Amino acid sequence: MATAAAAARSESESAKIALITGITGQDGSYLTEFLLQKGYEVHGLIRRSSNFNTQRINHIYIDPHNAHKARMKLHYADLTDASSLRRWLDTIQPDEVYNLAAQSHVAVSFEIPDYTADVVATGALRLLEAVRSHIASSGRSHIRYYQAGSSEMFGSTPPPQSETTPFHPRSPYAAAKCAAHWYTVNYREAYGIFACNGILFNHESPRRGENFVTRKITRAVGRIKIGLQSKLFLGNLQASRDWGFAGDYVEAMWLMLQQDKPDDYVVATEDSHTVEEFLAVAFGSAGLNWKDHVVIDKRYFRPTEVDNLKGDATKAKKVLGWKPKVGFEQLVKMMVDEDIELAKREKVLVDAGYLDAQQQP
Ligand code: NDP
Ligand code: GDR
């Protein structure tokens, strides 16, 4: 049975329908804003959790009781549940599918490797298989699929890394992303599905999860500046990353699905910095010295590390016409400024006795 969305499409040919897994994540929220601006109807698959997990998209959510106004709709599903994926594909009949869902934390993947592989690798396979079956039963062969690949797949292969650089994954997460990458290539070659891999280097924002190093740092800067915290515990400061702004990177995902042919693309700023350099800029922009606050804690070191990532995005620039708009210093400042404002709001709650500030020393 088709939804009102699919039925309404025959009335309005211009309104494309996108289906996003991982819509509640950092990238899902920016991609949804981007697609809504382009006039899409956006359907997101969310997983059940005991607390609401929709903070990043609450500002664009419209209650289903005002359904006539809502162009973003949420449905329960899970990448570990093949039947839910197939059911929503058949119901929503999307034009574009963006597979962003993942257990996306590299260090955590060493703790829960089996689950990480199930969601990141087999989850992508389940979704591709649902797309294949949906095309076979409906004839909707124009459907396009985006797979969220990662620079972590390059692992220990030295920079600059491009589409032709060999993968050498260094974590269960990265190995699972390699499997998802090759499943996507295989479904393209075997069944002619319009399926693309975006090989995205690190991208950050004020919406970044708080246990990734950039946000962990900028949250700490905000809280230290406002007097809610004094120390920041970190692991390896010497790793280098090619950090861009998530808002820029979702445009590249969309551009890949607008091309004549499906292909794989590296998306990166081509500029790389160490964690220590990030620390210096972040603390510096708040008038603080990171050396007064950072303590090295061995628990944050990984069994195997990825030392040096720096992308070569020549193909994305040339074929997609994509380029990053936000540079490193601007990105860090954006995150620090937002986290200082957040810490000020936290302080109001702490002072009123509504919040415990003692999460960090
Ligand atoms: P986040 O961790 O912020 O978001 C991950 C999303 O996946 C969340 O919406 C999460 O839901 C959802 N999810 C997790 N497990 C499942 C599951 N079993 N079934 C359904 N949904 C699930 O990641 P990002 O937004 O930063 O990244 C998006 C994608 O891009 C990920 O695949 C990531 O691995 C990849 N990537 C990210 C890069 C980056 O620098 N950000 C770089 C390269 C690749 P919930 O909110 O409930 O936790
Ligand atoms: P990464 O991001 O592993 O690159 O994966 P993360 O921010 O977790 O680590 C970056 C580097 O910082 C070092 N580091 C710490 N990391 C965390 N999280 N916490 C710490 O306290 C800490 N101290 C030092 C790490 O060792 C590492 O070298 C991200 C994720 O978004 C993936 O999903 C995505 O695929 C890749 O980026 C590209």
Tell me the per-residue pLDDT of 158-177, one tens digit each, with 9 for 90 and over: 999 999 999 999 999 999 99
Q: Within 13 Å of residue 183, how many CA atoms lie on the same side as its CB? A: 25
Reply yes or no on whether the pLDDT at 9 is more than 80: no
Residues with CB under 6 A from ligand 2: 104, 106-107, 150-152, 201-202, 211-214, 216, 234-236, 239, 241, 275, 300, 302, 305
Mean residue pLDDT of the chain comes to: 95
Q: Mind listing the pLDDT tens digit for each residue in 108-126?
A: 999 999 999 999 999 999 9
Q: Residue 14: what pLDDT? A: 64
Nearest-5° Cα angle at 57, 52 to 58:
65
For 39-59, what is the mean pLDDT? 95
Query: What is the rounded CA–CA span in Å between residue 325 and residue 301?
Result: 32
Q: Mind listing the pLDDT tens digit for each residue in 15-31?
A: 999 999 999 999 999 99
Strand 17-21 to 41-46 pairing: parallel
Q: Residue 11: what pLDDT? A: 45
Reply yes or no on whether the pLDDT at 268 is more than 90: yes
Active site residue 152: yes
CB atoms within 10 A of CB 216: 17
Q: Mind listing the pLDDT tens digit for each residue in 281-329?
A: 999 999 999 999 999 999 999 999 999 999 999 999 999 999 999 999 9
Q: Whose CA is nearest to atom 43 of ligand 1?
A: 150
Q: Residue 256: what pLDDT? A: 99
Q: Residue 70: what pLDDT? A: 84
DSSP string, 337-348: HHHHHHHHHHHH
Reply yes or no on whether the pLDDT at 196 is more than 70: yes
Q: Which residues contact 126 (CB under 8 A, 6 or more apart)?
A: 79, 80, 82, 85
Helix, strand or coil, per DSSP, at residue 153: helix
**Picking from 3-12, 127-136, 298-307, which range would have the lowest pLDDT averaged per residue?**
3-12
The secondary structure of the chain in percent helix, strand, coil, rounded to multiples of 5, reads: 50, 15, 35
- pTM for this entry: 0.96
Ligand 2: atom nearest CA of 307 is: 28
Name the active-site residue from 98, 173, 183, 187: 173
For 229-257, what is the mean pLDDT? 98
Active site residue 40: no
Smallest-distance ligand from the CA of 211: 2
Active site residue 98: no
CA of 182 to the centre of ligand 2 (A): 23
CA of 94 to the centre of ligand 2 (A): 33
For 122-134, what is the mean pLDDT? 98
* Closest alpha carbon to 263 in 149, 128, 94, 117: 149
Residue type, 358: Q
Residues with CB under 6 A from ligand 1: 21-22, 24-28, 47, 49, 53, 78-80, 100-104, 119, 148, 150, 200, 202-203, 209
pLDDT band with cut points at 50, 70 and 90 for residue 62 = confident
Q: Whose CA is nearest to atom 27 of ligand 1?
A: 27
Q: Residue 359: what pLDDT? A: 61
Ligand 2: atom nearest CA of 171 is: 3
φ/ψ of residue 114, rounded to 5? -65, -50
Q: Within 13 Å of residue 341, how many CA atoms lie on the same side as its CB? A: 6
Q: Whose CA is nearest to atom 7 of ligand 1?
A: 101
Reply yes or no on whether the pLDDT at 46 is more than 80: yes
CA of 319 to the centre of ligand 2 (A): 29
Q: Residue 68: what pLDDT? A: 75
**Picking from 6-15, 29-38, 132-141, 213-222, which range would have the lowest pLDDT averaged per residue?**
6-15
